[in-house]
Structure 1
Amino acid sequence: MLEFPYSICDFYTLITEDYFYVDRTNHIRLIEKAGKQLLFLRPRRFGKTLLLSMLENYYDVAKADEFERLFGHLAIGQNPTPKHNQYLVMTWDFSVVSSHGEIEQVHQALHEHLNNAISNFATRYQDLLPYSISINSHNAISSFESALTAIGQSEYRLYLLIDEYDNIRGKCFCGAKTFSSDANEMMMGSQEMSKSRYDTLLSGEGLLKTVFKTVKSASAGRGLDRVFISGISPIVLSDITSGYNVAEDIYLLNEFNELCGFRETEVASVLTQVIKDCDLPPEKANDALTIMHTFYNGYCFSDRTDELIYNPTLTLYFLKFFQRDCQYPRRMLDGNLGMDKEKITYISRLPGGEEVIMNALQEKPPLAVWERANRFGVEDMLYATKDTTFMVSLLYYFGVLTLASKSEIGELVLKIPNLVVRKLYVERIRDMFLPVLADQKESQQAAKTLYQTGDMQPLCKFLERSYFKVFDNRDYSWADELTIKTVFLTVLFNESLYIMDSERELDRGNHKGLPLPADLVMIVRPQMRRYPLKDILIECQYLNLSAAKLTGKKAKQLDIEKLKALPAVQDKLAESKNQLDKYRLVLESKYGNLLRLRTYSVVAVGFDRLVVKSED
C-alpha cells in the first residue's frame, strides 16, 4: 500500500522511508544548464521546499555514499550529471525567521538564523574544511565571510539554497497597532508599515539587501559556485536588485512548468493503485480522476505550454484521505490553504479591485494583461497606485489565478485554476455583499430548501429583500446576467454537496457543437447521491428596467404573475428555456439515470425583482 507524504518535505525521508514520490529529478540537468544563480517562484504549498531538499541531497558531498540508495531508482540516477555529490551545501530558510519586536530584534532574528545555518554547516563539513569557521553571534555576515574563507581553502565549492526568500515574518509596529510584516502578507494589513522598519529590512543599506550583496560578492571567485532561491512572488526583488542583480528567473520557462506539481497522467496512475487497494471497481478510478481534475487541476505557469498541472498539496490531501477511507473527502479544500483567501480580500479592497475579483469569477470579460509584473518593491506594495496589471499579476503569483490562453491581440489571459480556488472567490464576494452574519444564515437556509425540495422561492425572496439592495449603493455599469449568475453562485456554492459551475469540465466531453452551457450547473457529488438532493441547472437573464418599461418602485409593487406576463419578461423566459432544453441533453447524455435534474429560468428585472420558471 502506498504511503502518501502529506506535509513531508524532506527528500531523504521520502526516499529512505519509501513514501510515494513523483520523480522530478530529470529536471536537475535542466537546472544546471539554466545558470548558476537561479530564482524559482511558485505559490504556497506547491512543493518548493521538497525541490530544494532534492537538490541538497543530490549535490551534498557528504551523501556521496548514499547516492545509489537515494537516486539509483530515479531518472537522474540512471544518467547522473558530473556535479552530483560535488558540493558543500548550505541552506537558509527565511520562513522561520521572526521579526517581532524592536528594530534591533529584527536584526538579531535574521543574524541568529544565518548563524545557526552556518554553524550547522561547519559541524557537518568540519572534516572537509582546512580550519574551523568563526561564528560572530552579533554579525552573521562576518560568520558567512569566515565560512567562505574556509571553503576557499578547500577542494570544494559552495551550493547555497535559499528557501522562501520573500517570507520573513513578524510584526511591524505603527504606534499602538500591528500587522503581519511578511513581505507577502504585510500589504494585507490595514495600517501602513513603519518606514524605519521597511528601511531596516530592505531599502538603502537594509539588512536583507546587505545579505544579498554579500552573496553576490561571494560568487565572484570566493568559494560560492551556485545559488538556488525559491519564493512565492517577486515582492522584495526590486528592493534587493541593486545589491543582487545576478539571479536568472526560471519560473516562467516552459521546461520548468511541471517542476513542482503533478501531471494528470501521474494522478491517474496512482488513483488506479488506490482504487485497487480499496477493492473498488476499476471504473471508479475515472470517476475519482474527474473529481480531482475539477477541484485540483488547472495550473499553468508558462505561456509557451498548454500543459496543466495539479496542486501537489491538495492532491496528496485527497489521495491520503481516499486511501484511508476509500471515499472522497467531504471538504475538498485543505484547510492549510484557506489563508489564500486573504490575498483575494486584499485585492478586493484596492480601488478597482472589487471589479477584478468579480471579473475573475465571471470570466467575462476575461482578465487579460500584456505582461505579468515581475518586480514588486515593498514600497510599491505599500504606497504606489495599484493598476489592473499589478492586481492580476499578484493574484497569479499567489496561485489564485493562472495562465489560460492568449487573446486575439496577444494579451495574457488569466483565469481561476480550479474549483477549490473558485470557492475562495465566492466566499470573498459573499462577505462583500452579505457582511451581516444573520443574512448569511438566512441565505444558507434558503439554499438548503432548494437543494432538498427544488423550491427556489425562499431564495428569490431573500435575494430581493437583502442581497439586491447592496447594488443600490454601487455603480455597476457592467451589471448584466453575469452579475445575476454571480449572486446565485455566492449563495448556492457548496463544495461538500455539489460539483459547482462545471461547464469547463463538461466541455471536455463530446459536446463542442452545442450552445454554451447554462449559467450555473450544480451536479450532486457521487458520494452524496444517497441523499435526496436535486441536480440544479440555472439560466440567468437580466432585463433592465427601461426595457421592461418599469420603474424600480413599480417593479417592486407589481404582482409576480403580472410581472411574469410582461412581453419583455416572456421573451427572456423563452430565450432561457431554449438554452436549458438544449443543455439538458448534454447533462442527460453525460450522467444518464443518475440525474434528479431541476432546471430554472431566472429573469432579474433590474435589481428589484426575480421571475423564476422551473421544470422537473
Structure 2
Amino acid sequence: MNKKLPYGISNFKNLIEDKYLYIDKTEYIEKIENFHSPYIIFLRPRRFGKSLFTSVLANYYDINEKDNFEKLFGETYIGKNVTREKNSYYILKFNFTGLNTDTKEDLEKTFIRTIKDSFDKFIEIYNLDISYIQEGSAASIFENFLTQVSFKIKGQIYVIIDEYDHFANELLSFQTELFSSIVSKTGFVRKFYEVLKKGTEFIVKRIFMTGVSPITLDSLTSGFNIAMDITRYPAFNEMMGFTKAEVIRLIDSTVKKPLDEVELKELLETLQKNYNGYLFASNGKERLFNSDMILYYMQSYMDSGKGPESLIDKNIASDYGKLGRMFDLKNKDANMEVLQDILKEEEIEGNITEGFSLEKNFDQDDFKSILFYLGLLTIDKPILGGVSFKVPNYVIKELYFEYFSKKINEELNYELNTPEITKAIREIGLKGKNDNLIKIVEKTLNKLSNRDYIKFDEKYVKLIFLAYCFLSKIYLVKSEYEVDSGYIDIALLKQANMEPTYFAIFELKYITKAEYEKEGEKIIEEKKKEAIEQLQKYKASQELMGLPNLKKWALVFVNDSCVVNIEIEQELI
C-alpha cells in the first residue's frame, strides 16, 4: 500500500497514526543514548528535519507514551532494538521559533510567554498539581518551576529544545547589538541557560538541542558549558536529511504507479542536481538531500507526474531571503569578496569555526562557517588543517545569483525589471534570439562602468550575464560547463518541467576600454576569432547532444558594449 507523503509534518505521533511515510532515523536514538555525554547539541540548516527528529525523541522517551510504544515504533529500527531508557522520562520541550524580535522588551516578553506555555503544557500532560511564579525574569520563573516539579515527580526530565537559536539568527541579520545584549553575562537568554545547567544537578538528566548556527553557543559558553556539539561528528552526519537510498525508498513507497528504470534514473538525476550535495562531517559517509525540498518536489510529482514549476520551496526561499542580510554582517567588503569567489566558482578554502562571537574578531573563516551552517556552503573535501567549500546544489547557486542581482540593483540605484529579463530569456527559448538579453546586460554595464571600485573583467561581465539567466528560471544555467574538449563559458540547458524550443551556449570575451584604445579593431577581431574557434572545437557532451535546436553564440564586449554577437551555425562535433 502506498504511504502518504509527510510534507510539512513534524509531529511524529500524528505521522504514524495517520499512516504517513516515515524515513526511519531511529538508529540515532540508540547512538545518542550511548554517547558519552547526556547533553547534546546538533545543528543543521533550515528545513532539514530537526523538528520531526525532536518529536521522535520526545515520543520514544516519554513515560506517558509507554502503552503506545509498539504502535509508534514497532516497525522501526529502535522498536526492534529497544534501549534501556525508553519511556523513562518526563519530557520538557521548548520551541523558540516565532518570537517577536522588534525590541528587547518584545523579545523578552515573548520568550517568557513561550517558556511558560511549555511549563503549562508539561503540567497538563503529566497531570501535576503545581503552581509556579508567574512574574519575574525567564531565569527566575524557570528555576522556580524546576524546583516545584522536583517535589511532584519521581523520575527525571529530558529537556528538548527545538530551534534554540531561531530568534538569535533573526537578530544577527539586522540587530547585532540586541543580540549581544541578550546573550551577555547579564542577558536574559544567558541566565535562562544557566538555570538549565543548574537543573542538571538535581532533576534534568538529558538535554537535546537543535538549531542552525553555533554563534549563540559561543556567547553562552561560560553559562552553559556542559553540552557536546556533535554537529560535525561522522557518526551523526546522516542523522537528518535524506541519503540516496532513503530517497529511493521514499519514491518506491509513495508513487502510485511504479517507475521504470529510465523514469527513476531521470527523477533521481533531477533531485540530485537540485537538492543533494550536503556534507557536514569531513569524513562523513554520504552526501545528503535536503529532506524538505525532496518532499516539496515529490508532492507535485505524485499529483501531476512532474515536479513543481519553481524548484525551490517558497518557505525555504523566504528563510534564505532573510539570511541574505548575513552578507551585511560585520565586515561587508570581506563578505562580498567571499560572494564573488562563490559566484566565480573559485576554490574556497577555510576552517570551520565551531564557536565564534561577534564581540571577538570576525574574519572570513567565521563568515564562511556561517554560510556552511546555514546550508549555503558545504564541505567539498578536507584539506590540510581545514576544508574546501562548495555550493551544495543548483537551487542554492540560484539563490546566490538572485542575491547578486539584488546587490547590482542596489549599486545602480534603479529598479531591476525581472519580468523584462524573463521575457528576454523566453525569447531565446521560443525564438532563438538573444538581442534583448544583450541590451539588458549592456544597460547594466553602462550604469556600472563609472564605478571605479568595481574591477571589471571578463569574469565580472559573465557574472552579470549569468545572474540574469538564473533569474528567469527557464533554463538550467551552467557556468564553465565541462565538455570533452574544454569548458563552455555559459550553457542554457534543459531545466526540469520547462520545454523551450531552443537551447544555447555562449562563449564570452571581454576587452577593457584601455585595451581597445591601444589596439583598436585588431583586438576585437582576435577575440572574435578566439571565441568562434572555441565554439567550433567543443565536443558535445551527452547532455548537449540530446538538446534540439542548440544555439551557439560568440560574444565580445568592449567596456559596456557588446560589439560582436555572432551565431555559429556549424554543428558541434
Which amino acid is 2:334 matched to?
G
- 2:236 is matched with which residue? 256
- The structural deviation recorded for 1:489 is 0.8
Question: Are 1:297 and 2:252 matched, yes or no?
Answer: no
The more displaced of 81-90 and 606-615 is 606-615
Q: Partner of 2:97: helix, strand, or coil?
A: helix
Residue of structure 2 aligned with 1:523, choices 486, 489, 493: 493
- 1:110 is matched with which residue? 111
- 2:133 is matched with which residue? 136
- The structural deviation recorded for 1:314 is 0.8
- 2:302 is matched with which residue? 323
Q: Is the 8 A contact 1:91 1:162 kept in 2?
A: yes
Q: 2: CA distance between counterparts of 1:471 and 1:262? A: 46
- 1:45 is matched with which residue? 47
CA spacing shift, 1:274–1:20, aligned 2, 3 Å: closer
- 1:497 is matched with which residue? 474
Q: Is the 8 A contact 1:119 1:135 kept in 2?
A: no
The more displaced of 604-613 and 397-406 is 604-613
CA spacing shift, 1:226–1:447, aligned 2, 3 Å: same
Q: Partner of 1:133: helix, strand, or coil?
A: coil
Q: 1: CA distance between counterparts of 2:529 and 2:382? A: 35
Q: 1: CA distance between counterparts of 2:563 and 2:382? A: 37
Q: Partner of 1:27: helix, strand, or coil?
A: helix
- 1:177 is matched with which residue? none
Residue of structure 2 aligned with 1:458, choices 429, 436, 439: 436
Q: Partner of 1:90: helix, strand, or coil?
A: strand
Q: Is the 8 A contact 1:278 1:323 kept in 2?
A: no
Q: Is the 8 A contact 2:90 2:157 kept in 1?
A: yes
CA-to-partner distance for each residue in 1:148-170, whole Å, 9 max, x for gaps?
45447744211100111112xxx
- 1:11 is matched with which residue? 12
Q: 2: CA distance between counterparts of 1:26 and 1:357? A: 38
- The structural deviation recorded for 1:10 is 0.5
- The structural deviation recorded for 1:211 is 1.1
Question: Are 1:391 and 2:371 matched, yes or no?
Answer: no
Which amino acid is 2:59 matched to?
N
- The structural deviation recorded for 1:385 is 6.1
Q: 2: CA distance between counterparts of 1:342 and 1:106? A: 18
Q: 2: CA distance between counterparts of 1:331 and 1:316? A: 14
Q: Partner of 1:599: helix, strand, or coil?
A: strand
- The structural deviation recorded for 1:9 is 0.4
- 2:555 is matched with which residue? 602
CA-to-partner distance for each residue in 1:437-485, whole Å, 9 max, x for gaps?
36545444333322222222332233223334314304344x5432232
CA-to-partner distance for each residue in 1:235-275, whole Å, 9 max, x for gaps?
22222211111111101111111211011222233334555
Gapped regions of structure 1 (runs ≥ 5) = 168-181, 556-562
- The structural deviation recorded for 1:43 is 1.1
- The structural deviation recorded for 1:329 is 0.8
Q: Partner of 2:5: helix, strand, or coil?
A: coil
Q: Partner of 1:4: helix, strand, or coil?
A: coil
- 1:338 is matched with which residue? 317
- 2:505 is matched with which residue? 537
Q: 2: CA distance between counterparts of 1:90 and 1:228? A: 11
- 2:65 is matched with which residue? 63
Q: Is the 8 A contact 1:157 1:224 kept in 2?
A: yes
Which amino acid is 2:564 matched to?
V
- 1:352 is matched with which residue? 334
Q: Partner of 1:521: helix, strand, or coil?
A: strand
Q: 2: CA distance between counterparts of 1:202 and 1:415? A: 31
Q: 2: CA distance between counterparts of 1:338 and 1:162? A: 24
Q: 2: CA distance between counterparts of 1:546 and 1:474? A: 14
CA-to-partner distance for each residue in 1:567-613, whole Å, 9 max, x for gaps?
x3444344434443454421xx3464543211222233344444233
Which amino acid is 1:585 matched to?
A
Which amino acid is 2:155 matched to?
Y
Please provide the CA RMSD for this pair.
2.7
Question: Are 1:427 and 2:384 matched, yes or no?
Answer: no
Question: Are 1:447 and 2:425 matched, yes or no?
Answer: yes
- 1:178 is matched with which residue? none
- 1:214 is matched with which residue? 195
- 2:211 is matched with which residue? 231
- The structural deviation recorded for 1:387 is 2.7
CA spacing shift, 1:424–1:146, aligned 2, 3 Å: closer
Q: Is the 8 A contact 2:97 2:163 kept in 1?
A: yes
- The structural deviation recorded for 1:494 is 5.0
Q: 2: CA distance between counterparts of 1:539 and 1:59? A: 60
CA spacing shift, 1:466–1:218, aligned 2, 3 Å: closer
Q: Partner of 2:453: helix, strand, or coil?
A: coil
TM-score, length basis structure 1: 0.84
Q: Partner of 2:433: helix, strand, or coil?
A: coil
Q: 1: CA distance between counterparts of 2:66 and 2:234? A: 31
- 1:614 is matched with which residue? 567
What does 1:59-208 correspond to in 2, within 5 Å? Answer: 59-98=61-100, 103=105, 106-126=107-127, 132-139=129-136, 141-142=140-141, 144-148=143-147, 150-151=149-150, 154-167=153-166, 182-189=167-174, 193=177, 198-199=180-181, 201-208=182-189
Residue of structure 2 aligned with 1:268, choices 245, 248, 268: 248
Which amino acid is 2:445 matched to?
Y
CA spacing shift, 1:274–1:156, aligned 2, 3 Å: closer
Q: 1: CA distance between counterparts of 2:564 and 2:42? A: 52
- The structural deviation recorded for 1:289 is 1.2
- 2:459 is matched with which residue? 482
- 1:372 is matched with which residue? 352
Which amino acid is 2:195 matched to?
T
The more displaced of 5-14 and 336-345 is 336-345
Q: Is the 8 A contact 2:445 2:560 kept in 1?
A: no
Q: Is the 8 A contact 2:418 2:471 kept in 1?
A: no
- 2:226 is matched with which residue? 246
Question: Are 1:572 and 2:527 matched, yes or no?
Answer: yes
Which amino acid is 2:70 matched to?
E
Q: 2: CA distance between counterparts of 1:494 and 1:162? A: 38
CA-to-partner distance for each residue in 1:89-113, whole Å, 9 max, x for gaps?
110111144355673x544433332
Q: 1: CA distance between counterparts of 2:563 and 2:336? A: 24
Which amino acid is 2:535 matched to?
L
Q: Percent identity?
A: 26
Which amino acid is 1:205 matched to?
T
Q: Is the 8 A contact 1:434 1:440 kept in 2?
A: no
Q: 1: CA distance between counterparts of 2:509 and 2:454? A: 16
CA-to-partner distance for each residue in 1:341-386, whole Å, 9 max, x for gaps?
332343067123222212112212x2211x2223343x53xxx664
The more displaced of 63-72 and 144-153 is 144-153
Q: Is the 8 A contact 1:296 1:419 kept in 2?
A: yes
CA spacing shift, 1:214–1:356, aligned 2, 3 Å: same
Q: 1: CA distance between counterparts of 2:424 and 2:94? A: 52
CA spacing shift, 1:612–1:309, aligned 2, 3 Å: same
Gapped regions of structure 2 (runs ≥ 5) = none
Q: 1: CA distance between counterparts of 2:133 and 2:76? A: 41
